[in-house]
């Protein structure tokens, strides 16, 4: 097997190797020359230091790790059948006229007692304090709302809000940015999906839960243990010395320390161009977790969810057991490699259990919990999904425990595409890749007239980024319906691991999905020989 990743140069960090010949294990040019003008990561780090740890430029990009793991969901294929139709409405006469792919029900739901319905089994990753989330929020939020899916407002939104006001105890009493985020989604929400706010250590200390409960009466709050992109707290960059000092005063870790004279001098000289704001590591205990869940319910939340990352299988086991005892409404498990608005690039590529392996472990652990007589909470998987075949495979492999897939960049991209089309239309500068479809919003967006009919005059309040997400969601729905119909599943609840086969023996060994040359063999022999 070849190297799974070449270090020391990547577009994410804006670095390249001078030579075409590179040592595979180190990523260093085979012939490293004294006098080289750049620019691998070692070369750039020699004078820009810690800046090279992060993908950039901050606020203008998202990044996804590109390590090529030995096994992923491409090592599974979907079974297709020439008979049957599971999940059609009761009383339906099964046949070619009723088993039409467009009738496939793609709705899902999650929750321990009080369920949340979604029109599709996907929802957004946590869009928190990164600049790309803030700048594109209207597009993301409205797009999720009109698509009928849940939107996760990520960590630290109150904490970095320039308009934040706190009381004498340091608790938030006003956060215009959080208000904007919640209200934008709610304005277009129509019975499907919800907005849930995520909390980390700093959010808990700040009283974010109390604020969104009292002011906005949110039904759901999410705790965060981690994510697939990193195993440390969240981070952003700021380019203002005053802003960096302000965030440090609010209790955040800010590096380099903006209060030190030498760092202030370096900033004024132009050497330090930005500061990093970091969140703290959390420390999980069973007692503390259960107490926090009780506290959040006492505040008024009807549902509590948990987001965890690609930690060791011990933490995975803890998450499943604790969530079962606490009656958590949704546990989202985020595998490696993660996508991000800002995470350390080396960590993104080299830490954590990859999604395929992590979900395989989760399925095994869920079975053991059930055998113990414990109820498994509703689960979602995240980490590297972008299309309907991948989502089908994840839901089928995790059946019956996994109800949805959390998608980060896959749902952000349509929002940014739509936003940019809006800018290009206004500027009269549409690229040929878009103008070949037309020059107006009505001509370019295939779903525009559908949305206009649905929302009437309110269509003018829907940004084009939101229309982009809705258009992607409609493609996703149709593609998923086709795959489900081909596997003879007409609703999500009928999907099972039997609908998959492993293309490699390694994938079969990890997942427990039968190898392609063994899957349904006994049934085949029955059909052949009986």
**pLDDT for the residue numbered 246:** 93
Instruction: Answer yes or no: is pLDDT of 2 > 80.
Output: no
Strands (DSSP E) along 313-443, which ranges? 330-334, 339-340, 379-382, 402-407
Is-contact 193 219, C-beta < 8 A? no
* 179 vs 182: CA distance, rounded Å: 5
What CA–CA distance (Å, rounded) separates 204 from 280? 12
State the average pLDDT over residues 287-313. 97
How much is the pTM?
Answer: 0.93
Residue range 191-220: average pLDDT?
96
Query: What pLDDT, on the 0 to 100 scale, is given for residue 268?
Result: 95
Per-residue pLDDT at 59 exceeds 80: no
- Confidence band for 65, pLDDT divided at 50, 70 and 90: confident
Q: Is the pLDDT of residue 1 over 70?
A: no
pLDDT, position 354: 96
Using CA atoms, how far apart are residues 379 and 319, in angstroms rounded to an integer?
A: 11
What pLDDT does 229 receive? Answer: 82
Name which of 408, 418, 403 is nearest 470 in CA terms. 418
- Both tokens assigned to 75: 């090592």
- For residue range 399-419, list pLDDT tens digits in order: 999 999 999 999 999 999 999
* pLDDT tens-place string over residues 334-374: 999 877 778 888 888 889 999 999 999 999 999 999 999 99
Q: What per-residue confidence (pLDDT) applies to 203?
A: 94
Q: Decide if pLDDT at 184 tops 80.
A: yes
The pLDDT tens digits for 153-168 are 999 999 999 999 999 9
Those residues with Cβ within 8 angstroms of residue 393's Cβ, 6 or more apart along the chain or in another chain: 73, 76, 78, 500
Tokens of 318: 């803890």
- Torsion sign over Cα 185, 229, 251, 328: positive
* Spacing of C-alpha 241 from chain mean position: 31
Pairing of strands 116-118, 108-110: antiparallel
Q: For residue 260, is pLDDT > 90?
A: yes
Which residues make beta-bridge pairs with 78?
500
* Predicted pLDDT of residue 344: 87
Radius of gyration from C-alpha coordinates of the chain: 24
pLDDT in tens, 17-33: 999 999 988 899 999 98
Integer Cα distance of 437 and 428 in angstroms: 15
Q: 456 falls in which pLDDT band (50, 70, 90)?
A: very high
Cα–Cα distances (Å) from 244 to 63, 240, 247, 470, 506, in that order, read: 24, 6, 5, 37, 49
Residue-wise pLDDT for 114-141, tens only, equals 999 999 999 999 898 888 899 999 999 9
Residue 356, preceding bond cis, omega within 30 degrees?
no
d(CA 65, CA 348): 6
Gap between the Cα atoms of 411 and 415, Å rounded: 7
Range 87-97 average pLDDT: 91
Query: Of the ranges 64-78, 157-171, 225-239, 354-368, which one carries the lowest mean pLDDT score?
Result: 225-239
Residue 222 above 90 pLDDT? Answer: yes
Q: Is 465's pLDDT higher than 70?
A: yes
The reported pLDDT for the residue numbered 63 is 81
Mean pLDDT in residue range 52-66: 83
The three-state secondary structure class of 386 is coil
Mapped onto helix, strand or coil, the DSSP state of residue 319 is helix
- % of the chain at pLDDT higher than 70: 100
């Amino acid at each position: 097997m070849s190297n799974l990743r070449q270090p020391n140069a990547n577009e994410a960090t804006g670095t390249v190797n001078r030579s075409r010949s590179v040592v595979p294990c180190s990523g260093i040019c085979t012939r490293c020359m004294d006098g080289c003008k750049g620019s691998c990561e070692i070369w750039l780090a020699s004078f820009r230091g810690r800046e090279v740890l992060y993908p950039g430029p901050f606020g203008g990009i998202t990044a996804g790790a590109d390590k090529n793991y030995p096994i992923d969901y491409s090592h599974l294929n979907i079974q297709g059948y020439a008979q049957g139709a599971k999940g059609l409405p009761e009383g339906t006469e099964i046949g070619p006229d009723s088993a039409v792919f467009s009738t496939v029900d793609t709705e899902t739901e999650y929750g321990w007692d009080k369920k949340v319905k979604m029109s599709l089994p996907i929802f957004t990753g946590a869009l928190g304090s990164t600049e790309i989330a803030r700048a594109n929020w209207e597009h993301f939020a409205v797009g999720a709302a009109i698509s009928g899916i849940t939107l996760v407002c990520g960590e630290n939104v109150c904490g970095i809000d320039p308009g934040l006001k706190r009381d004498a105890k340091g608790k938030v009493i006003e956060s215009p940015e959080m208000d904007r985020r919640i209200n934008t989604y709610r304005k277009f929400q129509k019975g499907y999906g919800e907005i849930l706010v995520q909390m980390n250590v700093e959010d808990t200390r700040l009283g974010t839960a109390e604020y969104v409960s009292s002011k906005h009466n949110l039904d759901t709050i999410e705790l965060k243990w981690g994510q697939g992109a990193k195993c440390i707290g969240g981070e952003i960059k700021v380019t203002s010395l005053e802003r960096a000092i302000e965030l440090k005063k609010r209790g955040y870790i800010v590096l380099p320390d903006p209060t030190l004279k030498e760092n202030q001098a370096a900033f004024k000289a132009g050497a330090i161009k930005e500061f990093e704001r970091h969140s703290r590591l959390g420390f999980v205990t069973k007692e503390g977790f259960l107490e926090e869940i009780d506290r959040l319910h006492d505040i008024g939340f009807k549902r509590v969810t948990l987001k965890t990352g690609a930690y060791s299988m011990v933490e995975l086991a803890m998450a499943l057991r604790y969530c079962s005892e606490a009656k958590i409404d949704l546990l989202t498990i985020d595998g490696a490699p993660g996508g991000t608005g800002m995470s350390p690039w080396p960590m993104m590529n080299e830490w954590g259990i990859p999604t395929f392996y992590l979900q395989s472990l989760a399925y095994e652990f869920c079975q053991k919990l059930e055998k113990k007589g414990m109820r498994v909470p509703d689960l979602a998987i995240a980490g590297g999904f972008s299309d309907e075949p991948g989502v089908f495979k994840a839901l089928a492999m995790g059946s019956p425990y996994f109800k949805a897939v959390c998608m980060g960049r896959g749902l952000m991209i349509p929002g940014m595409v739509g936003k940019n089309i809006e800018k290009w239309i206004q500027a009269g500068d549409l690229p040929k890749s878009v103008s070949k479809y037309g020059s107006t919003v009505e001509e370019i967006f295939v779903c525009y007239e559908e949305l206009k009919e649905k929302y009437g005059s309110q269509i003018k309040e829907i940004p084009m980024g939101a229309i982009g997400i809705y258009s992607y969601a409609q493609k996703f729905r149709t593609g998923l319906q086709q795959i489900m119909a081909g596997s003879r599943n007409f609703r999500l609840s009928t999907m099972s691991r039997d609908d998959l086969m492993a293309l490699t023996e390694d994938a079969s060994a990890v997942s427990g999905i039968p190898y392609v040359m063994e899957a349904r063999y006994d049934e085949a022999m029955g059909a052949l020989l009986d």
